[in-house]
Amino acid sequence: MAMTTSRPASLPPRAARFLAPLVILLAALPKPLSALEASDPFDTRAITPPRPALDLSAAEKAYLPCQALPSDTPYGVLEVVDLALCKNPTTREIWAIARLQAAEVGVAQTQFLPAIDGQLAANRLHGNSRSATARNASLTLSWLLVDFGARSANLEVARQLLSAASATLDATVQSVFLSALQSYFNTQAARAAVTAALESEKASRESLTAAEVRYRVGSGTPADRLQAQTAWSQATLNRIRSEGVLRNALGRLANVMGLDANHPLRLDDIPRTLPDSGFDRDVAALISEARRRRPEMQAAAAELKAAEAGIDYARAAGRPTISLSGGPQWEQLDGLSGQGNSIGLSVQLPIFSGFNTTYQIRAAEARSELQAARLENTRQEVALEVWENYQSLSTATQTVRSSADLLSSAEQSERVALGRYKAGVGNILDVLNAQSALAAARLQRIQAMLDWQVSRAALARSIGALDSSLLLSVSAEQNARNP
């Protein structure tokens, strides 16, 4: 039985001259390959979505270093959202998917270009007490000329999936944006609740002092003093609980910003932006705008187009292909050598594939129907989300106005009740009830203001209009109070 072994062997001068260009090319490959890997001949960077960040002017961006601020520097709403977008792993993950899909567009474009392969081989053959040396080399060009739309359909699929990935990135950015805003305003609400609890504790202490004064002069009863003491102790407990809630809220805010929960945070003053009528429009118009702007709608539409292009690709995959191939060849065996060139066209005719093409087309059509249903479902979800957030904002706006009246009347009632009690014509129960109502009114006012801020941001998110302009209005109001 003949056996073949391979080992290095020298090439004759004629073959060396023939293969010199190929050998030089192979020897120089490492450097050109590095350059090619870094190049972008199809300019996919131009279609790659940018890194998630706030859309601000150059002057405004100078104050956002995308890193934690010094411990003595307070965070405003701009810094909170910017840090969340920079450090949140969810946005980095979706951005990586978008860059991957942009590279897939480049991969699909490479299929339109020819491929060139070089081969060198030298073998030593042994068998039947004889040996021979076989050497061969070739340089082959292969080019798919006609495929009846398969490559074009594949490229369209890649482009639409890139559009879907870009829209998904936008949707993720807006979700993280809203989450950071909600956490920021919830923390501010907890902060305001601590301030309100301190005011209530101070008022309860004042009532206790008045009860003790009346008891010492003989116009008060021990029951009045005990009831005032109880109210003061309850107000102290409420203040302690509020401070615990604030510490937890600060930890959650730090987590959203990509920091450790125990990272010390200082916040700007609580925004006191009054309700406006910026979104006071026909809800039908808002729904129509949302369906046009929402990135989820754009992603679903792009995925549907990709599925439709997938049908074309499945059909083209079962059609004939025409390819061009050619190149120089050289071969030597036992001292005999020859060289030549070849060029030719090949036609591949798929005749029977076990019904594979049939079922691939059916699967592609089913995927298209699935994406169409998902697009319609997204349309309905967008409409419902806009409707609910619009109603929530309307309710929050009315609540803010009512809470202002409630707080004003509660403050007046508490002053009158305490004044009457100090004057000796009222009783302690009236004072304590008025102070309890005032504490509740303060909390409702705080919550109403912060709920309005969150509802406004949620409606902007549901319309697809959540951007830096919403933050700049809050930040400008904070800066006006902190020159």
pLDDT of residue 37: 57
pLDDT tens profile 29-49: 444 544 555 678 888 999 999
Instruction: Give the range among 63-77, 106-120, 123-137, 420-434 with minimum mean pLDDT.
Output: 63-77
CATH of the domain at 419: 1.20.1600.10
| DSSP 8-state assignment for residue 48 | S
- Pick the range with the lowest mean pLDDT from 184-188, 213-217, 385-389: 213-217
More confident residue, 111 or 4: 111
**Closest of 96, 58, 66, 71 to residue 82, by C-alpha:** 66
Give the range among 10-24, 209-223, 303-317, 454-468 with minimum mean pLDDT.
10-24
Domain that holds residue 53: 44-113+147-318+353-481
pLDDT at 10: 47
Q: What is the mean pLDDT of residues 461-472?
A: 78
φ, ψ of residue 342 in degrees (nearest 5): -135, 150
The C-alpha atoms of residue 55 and residue 46 are separated, in whole angstroms, by 18
Which of the residue ranges 32-41, 166-175, 282-291, 416-425 would you say has the lowest mean pLDDT? 32-41
Q: DSSP state, 278?
A: T
CA distance 430 to 414: 9
pLDDT, tens digit, 9 for 90 and up, residues 95-142: 999 999 999 999 999 999 999 998 888 887 777 777 778 888 889 999
The answer as to whether 281 is a domain residue is yes
Rounded-to-integer distance, Cα 443 and Cα 403, Å: 9
What local confidence, expressed as pLDDT, does residue 23 receive?
52
Domain count, the chain: 1
* Position 442 in a domain: yes
Helix (H) or strand (E) holding 131: strand 130-146
- 16 located within any domain: no
7 — pLDDT class (breaks 50, 70, 90): very low
Q: Assign 352 a pLDDT band (cuts: 50, 70, 90).
A: confident
Domain assignment present for 192: yes
pLDDT band at 299 (very low <50, low <70, confident <90, very high): very high
Looking at the domain assignment, is residue 222 inside a domain? yes
Query: Rounded mean pLDDT of 50-78?
Result: 71
**How big is the chain, counted in residues?**
483
Region 409-417: what's the mean pLDDT? 90
Is the residue at 4 inside a domain? Answer: no
Of the candidates 392, 363, 388, the one whose C-alpha atom is nearest the C-alpha of residue 287 is 388
Task: List CB contacts of 50: < 8 A, sequence separation 6 or more.
Answer: none
**Under 8 Å between Cβ of 334 and 133:** yes
The residues facing 117 across adjacent strands are 140
Whether residue 469 lies inside any domain: the answer is: yes
Residue reference for tokens 């829209």: 167
For the record, the structure tokens of 194 come out as 């601590």
Which H or E element spans position 473?
Answer: helix 468-481
Residue 385 has pLDDT above 90, yes or no: yes
Residue 226 placed within a domain: yes
pLDDT confidence tier of residue 483, bands split at 50, 70 and 90: very low
Q: Which amino acid would we find at residue 440?
A: A
Where does residue 215 rank: exposed (0-12), middle (13-18), buried (19+ CB within 10 A)?
Answer: middle
